[in-house]
Amino acid sequence: MKLMKIKEVMNVTTLARATIYKYMDLGRFPKPVPLGGRAVAWVADEIEDWIAQRVTERDNEIAKS
């Protein structure tokens, strides 16, 4: 299992830090894993699944058109 720090999550998703935390607060983004102190990381598979979901939603919208 691979963990990703915030900078890698930002690079992979192309989202800003504030947007990631906003989406988490809304329940629309995977929650991080606490590593101790203030350090957190995200499970890479969960981030990849989140991206795949966005693609599926896009494709479903295109199919409806």
Instruction: For 4-20, write each residue's pLDDT tens digit.
Output: 999 999 999 999 999 99
Q: Please give the pLDDT value at position 63.
A: 81
Query: How many domains is the chain built from?
Result: 1
Domain that holds residue 36: 3-64
In sequence order, which residues have a C-beta less than 8 Å from that of residue 9 and are 6 or more positions away? 15, 20, 42, 47
Burial class (CB in 10 A: 0-12, 13-18, 19+), 4: buried
Q: What is the Cα–Cα distance from 25 to 15, expressed in whole angstroms?
A: 15
The pTM of the whole model exceeds 0.85: yes
Q: What is the Cα–Cα distance from 64 to 60, expressed in whole angstroms?
A: 6
- Which residue, among 7, 1, 4, has the nearest Cα to 32 in the 3D structure? 4
Q: Please give the pLDDT value at position 9.
A: 98
